[in-house]
Chain A
C-alpha cells in the first residue's frame, strides 16, 4: 500500500437550480482530512453532505471552491486510482458476478484484472463473502451487496476512501457488524477515509473527527474530535463516554 494522502476541501459552494427552485446545497464548506485519518460527515437529510462527497469526486461541478486529493484535482485523482468510493446503494451491475463487479474499477482505470485475481479473492474474504465469488447480485441480500460495494471500493488500493452512507440501508445489527469490519479494514490499510452518514453512533464509533453539517444552506457548523481509544470494540456502544459524545453531536445537530 502506498502512503495515504489527505483531502483538502476549501470554500465549496454549490447551488442547484431545478424546476423553478433554487437550493443552496453548499455554502463555503471547508474541511481538511489529514493523511490516514477517519473523518465522519454527519447532518440531517438534505444538508448537502452527499454533495460534499460527490463534488469531491468530481461527479458534480462546483460553483466555487477547491478540492485537493493528495494534492491533485478530483479528475486527476480519480483517474489515477487514488480514490475509492462506495455509495448508499451498492450500484452493482446486475449481470456481473460478485468478483467481476469488484473488478469494475480496475477496468475503468485501465488496469489489468488478471494480476488482481488474488486480491479480489482476498477482498471477498475480507467482507465475508467467500464462496459467493460467482454469485450474481440478484442472488445476494441487501447487506451482502453492500459488502460487495465495500470490497469494490478497496480493489484499486485507494489512498483515499469516500463512503456515502454505505450502511444506510442495513439493519442495526448488520450495521454494527459492518462498522466493526470497516474499522478493521481502515486500521489494516491506513486509508484516509471520509464517511458520510446520518448515524450518530456510527460516526462516533468510527471516526477521529466528526464534522457536523446543517441544512439550508448546507454548511459545516462544528468539527468535534473523538478521543476514544482504538481499537474500538462493540462494548463501546454502551460506554458512558461514547454516549456523552453522541449527545454532544446531537446537540449540535439540533442547533444547540
Chain B
C-alpha cells in the first residue's frame, strides 16, 4: 500500500503543479493552461474529434503497413546480401535523416489525396523497422545455426529455422517504436497538405484562434493515439515473447571486412544511389521542373547560378546557427537518457516512477509538442534543446532499457557501452532532424515579430504554384529547403524581387539558422518582406477559420500566441 502510494505520489504532485501553474497563467501568459481547462475544452470539442482521429488513423495505418512491409523485405535483402546493404546505405541514411517537414510540402504538391499522408507515415516507419529487422536477423544464435548446418542445412534453412523467428522480437520492437512515427508522419502531412480531416488539419485550423487549451487538447489526443499504437505492439510483443527471451545469446560474428577497393566502390555506389533515386522519382512522378528540383538543379543553385554565393552564404550561416544547437541538444539529451538508464538500473523504483514520463515522451508526436514548447519556452534555443532531449529520450530510453535489462551479468557493461554508442549515432540523427523541426518552428516566431502563416492558405486564396522546398542531401544528413524562400506566388500577382526575399530572409536566418530556409514559412516571411507591410492575413485562418472572428489574433505578439504550424 505504502509503495503504491509512493508510486502515485510524484505523478499526482506533477499534475497538481500543472493545474496550479495553469490556473494562475504563470507560463507565458497562459500558454500553458491547466489540465482541467484542457480537458474541459476537449469535452467541449468532442464532436470534432472522431472524424479527425479516424482520418489520421486511416492514413497512418496504411502508411504503417506499407512502410513496414517494405522495411522487413528490405531488411531481409540486406541481411542476405551485404552488398545490397552497402549500396543502400546512403538511401537508408537519407530516409532516416530526412526531416519529414522538408518533404511534406513536396509530397503534398506532387501527390494527391491521402497519398502524401500515407507516404510520409510509411517513410516514418521504414528506417526504424528496417534497422530492427536487420539487427534481429543478424543477432541470431550462432550455436543454433551450427546445429542446422551440421545437418546439411544451408543459408536458407538457417534463415527459415533460426533467423526469421529469432528476429520477431526485434521486429516487433521496431513496430512498437515505428507506430507513433506513422501517426506523426500522417499528422505532419495533414498539416502540410490541407484537407479537411485529420488531427494535423485540425491543429492547423485551430492555430489561428489563440486557444492554447485546444492546441493542448489536440496534442493530448495525438499523444494518446500514438501512445495507443505503441501500447498495442508492446502488448503483442509481450505476449509473443513470453519465456522465449530468457536464454542467453551467442551472437553470430559480424560479416568479415571486405577488400578495400571493393569497399570503396560500394561506398561510392551508396553515395550516388540516393541521388539516382531522387532523379528517378522526380522523373517517374512527372514532377514539373518548377516543383521538383533535380540534384543538378540544386547544384546549380548552390554553385553555378549568379546567386550561388548568396545561397551558399545563407546556407553556411544557417548551418552555423543550427549545428551548435543540435550538438548541445544531442549532448544534453544523451546525458539525460543515459543518466536515466543508469539510474533505472541502480534503482528499479526510479524506473517505475519515471515510466509514465518516458512513455509520454516516447509517444507524443513532436508535431503537437513543438508549438507548445515554443509557446512555453519563448521560441529560443531552449525549445530546440528540449526537443532534442525528448527525441533522445525516445530513442535512447526505449533501446537502453532492454539493453541494460537483458544483458547477462558478464556482458552488461560492454553491451551497454556498445549499445550506447550505437544509440548515440541514432540519436545524432534524431537531433539533426528535430533541430530542423524546432528551428523551423522558432523561425516563424522570429525576430520580425510577425505572425507566420502557412502556405496552404495562400494557395487557398487562389494562388498558383510556387517553388517548393528542395531537400538537399548533405553528408551530415541535414536537409533543407533551399528554394522555398524564393516562394513566388503568382496568384498574388506579385512577383517577388530577389532583394525583397533576401530582406525577409535576413532577420530570420540571423536569428534562427536553417529555419528561414526551410520551406513554407519562408514564403510568408518572404511575402512580408516584399510588401514591407504588416503581417499578411494568416493563411490558416483563411482556409478553415473564416467563420471565426479570431483572425486578427494572429497579429498578437509572438510570445503569447504565435505558434508556428510546425508539423
| CB <8 Å contact, B247 and A92 | yes
Is residue A67 within 8 Å, beta carbon to beta carbon, of the partner chain? Answer: no
| CB <8 Å contact, B144 and A92 | yes
In-complex Cβ contact of A107 among B144, B161, B166 (8 A): B161
Is residue B162 within 8 Å, beta carbon to beta carbon, of the partner chain? Answer: yes
| CB <8 Å contact, B244 and A95 | yes
Binary contact readout A69-81 vs B (1 if CB under 8 angstroms, 0 otherwise): 0000001001111
Instruction: Note all chain B residues with C-beta closer than 8 A to A87.
Output: 143, 146-147
| CB <8 Å contact, B161 and A78 | no
Question: How far, in whole Å, are A81 and B242 apart by their CA atoms in the complex?
Answer: 33
Binary contact readout B161-186 vs A (1 if CB under 8 angstroms, 0 otherwise): 11001101000000000000000000
In-complex Cβ contact of A78 among B151, B162, B166, B247 (8 A): B151
Interface residues of B in 247-274 (CB under 8 A from A): 247, 250
Instruction: Note all chain A residues with C-beta closer than 8 A to B149.
Output: 57-59, 78
Q: Chain B nearest CB: distance from A217 CB in Å?
A: 23
Is residue A4 within 8 Å, beta carbon to beta carbon, of the partner chain? Answer: no
Is residue A68 within 8 Å, beta carbon to beta carbon, of the partner chain? Answer: no
| CB <8 Å contact, B144 and A78 | no
Instruction: Note all chain B residues with C-beta closer than 8 A to A58.
Output: 149
| CB <8 Å contact, B165 and A152 | no
| CB <8 Å contact, A105 and B247 | no
Instruction: Note all chain B residues with C-beta closer than 8 A to A137.
Output: 247
| CB <8 Å contact, A94 and B247 | yes
Closest to B140 in A: A93
| Max count, chain B CB within 10 A of own CB: residue among A80, A107, A139 | A107
Question: How far, in whole Å, are A79 and B243 apart by their CA atoms in the complex?
Answer: 32
Is residue A91 within 8 Å, beta carbon to beta carbon, of the partner chain? Answer: yes
Closest to B144 in A: A91
Is residue A239 within 8 Å, beta carbon to beta carbon, of the partner chain? Answer: no
Count A-B contacts at CB 8 Å: 79
Instruction: Note all chain A residues with C-beta closer than 8 A to B246.
Output: 94, 138
Is residue A7 within 8 Å, beta carbon to beta carbon, of the partner chain? Answer: no
Interface residues of B in 113-159 (CB under 8 A from A): 141, 143-144, 146-153, 157
Is residue A109 within 8 Å, beta carbon to beta carbon, of the partner chain? Answer: yes
Interface residues of A in 85-107 (CB under 8 A from B): 85, 87, 89-95, 104-105, 107
Q: Chain A nearest CB: distance from B261 CB in Å?
A: 19
In-complex Cβ contact of B150 among A80, A85, A92, A93 (8 A): A85
Instruction: Note all chain B residues with C-beta closer than 8 A to A78.
Output: 149-152
Given contacts A75-B152, A78-B152, A108-B152, contact A138 B147 (CB under 8 A): no
Closest to A54 in B: B146
Instruction: Note all chain A residues with C-beta closer than 8 A to B153.
Output: 108
Question: How far, in whole Å, are A81 and B152 apart by their CA atoms in the complex?
Answer: 8
Binary contact readout B415-446 vs A (1 if CB under 8 angstroms, 0 otherwise): 00000000000000000000000000000000
Question: How far, in whole Å, are A87 and B250 apart by their CA atoms in the complex?
Answer: 13
| Max count, chain A CB within 10 A of own CB: residue among B143, B148, B149, B152 | B152
Is residue A83 within 8 Å, beta carbon to beta carbon, of the partner chain? Answer: yes
| CB <8 Å contact, B144 and A109 | no
Q: Chain B nearest CB: distance from A228 CB in Å?
A: 30
Q: 6 A-B pairs, CB-CB below 8 angstroms?
A: A59-B149, A81-B151, A94-B247, A95-B165, A104-B148, A108-B152
Identify the 8 closest CB pairs spanning chains A and B, nearest first: A79-B152, A91-B143, A138-B246, A108-B151, A138-B243, A108-B153, A95-B244, A94-B244
